[in-house]
Chain A
């Protein structure tokens, strides 16, 4: 794992000291709220509906057990004993007090963490495939590139006052698990003629005007990465609209100017700045790569596993849904579901965080990942250890066997916490999970991703959910709009609206009707919801959703 250099440590220490002084000046009255707000946002501190909220970056979703324990400590000491893991691989604390925040930031710095650039018009926390460095389908670990981009973008003087936020994601595999095409810029490690390089996407984004990212450059040589990304951000920095917040993201710049114009400008700017990149960044990248070396994998027999699986149906169900192939055949990638039926998606208690930290330390080469799907991953678990890992998770309420199923829902905080929300999202997720658990249909339904946002900002990725749910305020009443057919993978697609929305009471039955319609029309159990939707289109689902209208028509 990456360890802070002296420079990193010093930088974070200085920023924390500055922020402590700023908090004190706000409290003693020398700073007004208007002056203080941009300063607190630069340090990840929001003011939400009921309290402050601190957003802590988990760069490319990677955590050590020591860091996870520190998050548990913070949750207990300064919050209400839990934390909320988000789709941007961050953790949010929902109840910190203003005066405690400088101490929290110092506690984070002790374990090489911070909240810098988790807000504001800057380059945000760089996200990555949560199976990075472990997945069997990977060309290379994307995290060294993500770390290089993080170092380059942190406090980059040219990019502190961008037209709007800028989100970067990196993946090392053709199977996209990092939603590359929904990011302002994305880097995919690819191979061409035996050479590794990068495919660059630009202009993806969700929010009120969702767009699928386009290929800006199909193949980029490794040494050109930083100058090329810098050229892209700087072209947008000048071209991007500052007159209208809703048109300021790079997706709109690309949409309004056309990808070819943007590409020409980027190439021109790239040619201009490339000579200034003398290769230091490549030396740094080599140094970073060494820090992400694979752990020393253990050799042990996995023979007992099959017998254990056969004898323990609950364990078997969990291994069927929550494991992913590892690049080492004796190992597995374990997904720990933070979606226990009826619980808040993405929340973990301090005790649960410690259980996961202990497991990572004992059985997981000390690594944890946070996925954008709001689950926690143990990327390297020897298969011989799976029974013990499972039993420990089960005792902590962490062994729900539902990864990729209907109750593995992404939900943003919504009106329960978020000051921008137009409706709640958490209770809808809770009710859907509980309902389908009662119906005992979850496993029969199979792969199905529901994603819920509490307003058009789309933090819950509803546009790319197989079933997307968007909570709106219709004349003072919560109303939920449904989209179908969204896809967050390499064949990214935006969902299509079904029609009029549903009230909070009607939305769960509406989802049920969609699911029953799917079960009726699928060719067999192997045809997933998304495949079925892509085959038959919207009309059978519309008919199921709006029976009265379709009869009248």
Chain B
């Protein structure tokens, strides 16, 4: 039996800097998982994924990543997504230090 659909977010890498980004409910892109829109319905999730994939000027390799729901918002269920959310473990580089809070700048998004 296929596994029932799990809560998911739409994630991708940003075209210009490769950074991990998440689709928000307001149809913006954020660098923070906590801003992501959590999708609980599979059909809805597929539509949101197609929408992400139709923005090649922003996204590369969009896909659905499973999340668990906590009081702080969505949390990764797999360690790969934990690294994507945080950054590498050997240096304090990437999101764990430099994540711009909130949505991407409009200019960043539309280039």
A residues near B, CB below 8 A?
26-27, 29, 32-33, 47-52, 80, 95, 97-99, 344, 415-417, 421, 424, 426-427, 430, 473, 476-478
Contact = CB atoms under 8 A, between A and B. Distances in A.
B12 to A, nearest CB: 10
Contacts of B19: 50-51
Contacts of A26: 15
Nearest to A344: B90
Given A95-B93, A476-B79, A48 B18 contact: yes
Contacts of B78: 476
Interface stretch (B1-9, B33-41, B42-50, B56-64): B56-64
Nearest to B13: A47
Given A27-B15, A50-B84, A51-B18, A415 B79 contact: yes
A29 B57 contact: yes
Given A50-B84, A426-B89, A97 B56 contact: no
Contacts of B84: 49-50
A478 B93 CA distance: 22
Contacts of A51: 17-19, 94
A33 B56 contact: yes
Contacts of B95: 50
Interface string B6-32: 000000010111111000000000000
A50 B90 contact: no
Contacts of B20: 49-50
A367 B11 CA distance: 45
B16 A98 contact: yes
B60 A33 contact: yes
A47 B90 contact: no
A50 B94 contact: yes
Given A50-B87, A50-B95, A29 B18 contact: no
Contacts of A33: 15, 56, 60-61
9 contacts: A32-B56, A49-B83, A49-B84, A50-B19, A50-B94, A50-B95, A344-B90, A416-B90, A473-B80
Nearest to A33: B60
Contacts of A477: 79
B24 to A, nearest CB: 20
Nearest to A423: B79
Nearest to A427: B89
Contacts of B91: 80, 344
A-B residue pairs, 5 tightest by C-beta: A416-B88, A51-B18, A52-B18, A50-B94, A97-B17
A95 B18 CA distance: 8
Contacts of B13: 47
Contacts of B83: 49-50, 415-416
Nearest to A34: B56
Nearest to A426: B90
B71 interface: no
Contacts of B111: 27
Given A33-B15, A52-B17, A426-B88, 19 more contacts: A27-B57, A29-B56, A48-B18, A50-B83, A50-B84, A50-B87, A50-B93, A50-B95, A51-B17, A51-B94, A80-B91, A97-B16, A97-B18, A98-B15, A344-B90, A421-B80, A427-B89, A427-B90, A476-B78
A75 to B, nearest CB: 13
Given A27-B111, A416-B88, A417-B88, A47 B18 contact: yes
